[in-house]
Amino acid sequence: MGKGVKVRVWGDLALFSRPEMKVERCSYDMMTPSAARGILEAVYWHPGMRWVVDRIYVRKPVQFTSIRRNEVKSKISANNVLSVMNGGDKPLFISSKEDIVQRAAILLRDVDYVIEAHFEMTEKASPCDNPGKFKDIVMRRLRRGECYHMPYFGCREFPANFELFEQENVDTAYEGEERDLGYMLYDFDYSDPEDIQPMFFRAVLTNGILDVRDCEVIR
């Protein structure tokens, strides 16, 4: 039994933030592989398996829009948390009324993708776990629209609709074109929990397809 799956995801707005933008958010031209993995994990996650994204198909032209969003300009201090844990009296809240600030964000609008991915078994799989079992669970959840939490496009305020994509071929918005999207976030390296590092790759959209199966990852 094959372990691969195709999932269509679509929504009104998306924000896949570029890490080089420190204050006001600006989205990549399309979904990143790490965002695609996050959507699949929202549908089904298990310690005995690991999602691997193979391709992302762009089904609608890239369109940007700009909005202003309410955010807070501060965060709870880790020192305050440690102090309270040791019996101190420090504030452990953020007053949105005092810290609120409006910031511009450049978003994607009217997005529609197909994620092609597979999963691999991990060392945390139990003796009763197997690829066929996981594949049946994933397919059943996709057909029923079940998820652990609502998938989202980069930020939780931008929910992603999802469904199982059962067609053989995927129509894209850029047939016959090649677009160089520059360096894009691939994922994070969690091998050292004390020092999690981002990984990047050179993203090239060929015929509307971002193929990440054999991309060169830069740390």
> CA triplet 36, 2, 130: central angle to 5 degrees?
90
Q: Within a 13 Å sphere around the CA of 156, how many CA atoms are in the beta-carbon half?
A: 3
DSSP one-letter code for 216:
P
pLDDT, tens only, 16-52 = 999 888 778 999 999 999 999 999 999 999 999 999 9
Mean pLDDT of all residues in 79-90? 85
**The whole model's pTM is what?**
0.87
**pLDDT above 70: percentage of residues in the chain:** 99
- Give the chain's domains with CATH numbers: 4-68+105-211 (3.30.70.2660)
Separation CA 15–CA 142 (nearest Å)? 23
DSSP one-letter code for 217:
P
Give me the chain's average pLDDT, please: 92
